[in-house]
């Protein structure tokens, strides 16, 4: 039974992805510390944070809004990951692994959105 956002598989996977991004970006050159690295960390942190905040809200429409923000953050992070691959800041394997997890999380969020929208109708 789901009693908290911490019980949600999608939140757990989003936390794994955020952790992965923080570890990967910790290896970036110092000149990227306040640029691409910080931007990636913010977008990665936004995904589980918005899942948690939305789940804690009292209204389904608010939950849907926060899930939408999470999807936007995933798209932002995917773009940044691809750029890191192009700039050779990350290996192709690292980018592929992170993008795969991001895609899985995105599908899970869309599934939750569909389920919530059905309840509204």
The closest of 54, 32, 110 to 24, measured between CA atoms, is 32
Which whole-number Å values give the CA distances from 117 to 34, 65, 67, 112, in the listed order?
39, 11, 12, 9
**Using CB atoms within 10 A of its CB, is residue 45 exposed (0-12), middle (13-18) or buried (19+)?**
middle
pLDDT at 1: 80
Residue-level pLDDT, tens digit, the chain, 121 residues: 888 999 999 999 999 999 999 999 999 998 887 899 999 999 999 999 999 999 999 899 999 999 999 999 999 999 999 999 999 999 999 999 999 999 999 999 999 999 999 988 7
- State the total domains in the chain: 1
pLDDT at 30: 87
pLDDT at 112: 97
The closest of 77, 70, 82, 80 to 107, measured between CA atoms, is 70
Residue 30: CATH number of its domain: 1.20.1440.60
Q: Could you list the beta-strand ranges (E) of the chain.
A: none
Q: Which domain holds residue 61?
A: 5-120
- 3-state secondary structure (DSSP) of residue 114: helix
pLDDT at 94: 98
Instruction: Compute and round to an integer the Cα radius of gyration of the chain.
Output: 15
């Amino acid at each position: 039974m789901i009693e908290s956002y911490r019980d949600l598989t999608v939140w757990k996977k989003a936390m794994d992805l955020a952790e992965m991004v923080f570890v990967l970006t910790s290896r970036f050159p110092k000149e990227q510390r306040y640029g691409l690295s910080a931007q990636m960390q913010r977008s990665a942190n936004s995904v589980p944070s918005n899942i948690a905040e939305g789940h804690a809200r009292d209204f389904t429409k608010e939950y849907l809004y926060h899930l939408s923000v999470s999807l936007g953050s995933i798209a932002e992070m995917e773009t940044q990951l691809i750029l890191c691959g192009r700039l050779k800041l990350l290996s192709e394997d690292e980018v592929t692994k992170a993008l795969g997890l991001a895609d899985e999380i995105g599908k899970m969020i869309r599934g939750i959105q569909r389920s919530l929208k059905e309840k509204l109708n």
